Amino acid sequence: MEELKKTPDHLPAADKRESVLNFPNKVTLLRISVIPVLFFLLMDPGQTGSLIITLLFILASLTDLLDGYLARKYQSVTAMGQFLDPIADKLIVNTAMIVMIPIGRIPAWIVAIIVIRDFIVDGIRAISSSRGIIMQASKLGKQKTLCQIFAVSALMIHYPFLGVNAHAVGVVILSVALVLSVYSGVDYFITFYRSVIKE
């Protein structure tokens, strides 16, 4: 991120009339375009193929930092960007987990709990927003997403890497992500109950 701050300001500040397809949003769409590549995991690629797909997944995840940084730096935050950015993250991570179920790299029940939790939290935030209450992403939620990215990356590698059992490492981190997922989901519901239902 420090390198990004040193980059010359060669990009123009966004005009309010600028197309919703500004540069940050294009980066988000580029991130989403990586999703079809993840389906190659269904072919159960070997060690080299798994590593290549993992690198693409990690690069796609890192662009989340890039598009958010550019949107703030050049004041080009748009409604489309606010809609696409969180969806892109969930699409990439959840798709990666789902396609690894048939090849036995990830337990289906863990994926089900995490995906259902995401749907419930999105519903809670949508209802809160309709009542004029904005529920920002919690610290627990961000930690859960970070753990998911590390876990999915290791499970994608699957094979021993640099002398480390990547699959075993992925399972451990995924277990942590599962706990954070449930815990943060309960935290969102408690906040929702206190601010919306109980009002």
Task: Provide the domain count of the chain.
Answer: 1
Contact by Cβ (8 Å): 49, 33: no
- With respect to residue 5, please indicate whether it lies within any of the assigned structural domains: no
- With respect to residue 4, please indicate whether it lies within any of the assigned structural domains: no
What pLDDT sits at residue 17? Answer: 44
- With respect to residue 112, please indicate whether it lies within any of the assigned structural domains: yes
- With respect to residue 127, please indicate whether it lies within any of the assigned structural domains: yes
What pLDDT sits at residue 62? Answer: 80
Domain holding 167: CATH number? 1.20.120.1760
**Global pTM exceeds 0.85:** no
What pLDDT sits at residue 169? Answer: 95
- With respect to residue 104, please indicate whether it lies within any of the assigned structural domains: yes
- With respect to residue 34, please indicate whether it lies within any of the assigned structural domains: yes
Phi, psi of 103 (to 5 degrees): -95, 10
- With respect to residue 8, please indicate whether it lies within any of the assigned structural domains: no
- pLDDT per residue rounded down to tens, the chain (199 residues): 444 344 444 444 444 445 566 666 777 788 888 889 889 888 888 889 999 999 999 988 887 666 566 656 656 666 665 666 677 888 889 999 999 999 999 999 999 999 999 899 888 888 877 777 767 667 787 888 889 999 999 999 988 888 889 999 999 999 999 999 999 889 888 887 777 766 6
Q: Which residue segment(s) compose the domain that 156 sits in?
A: 18-197
Q: What span, in angstroms and rounded, lies between the C-alpha atoms of 77 and 5?
A: 18
- With respect to residue 122, please indicate whether it lies within any of the assigned structural domains: yes
Contact by Cβ (8 Å): 50, 153: no
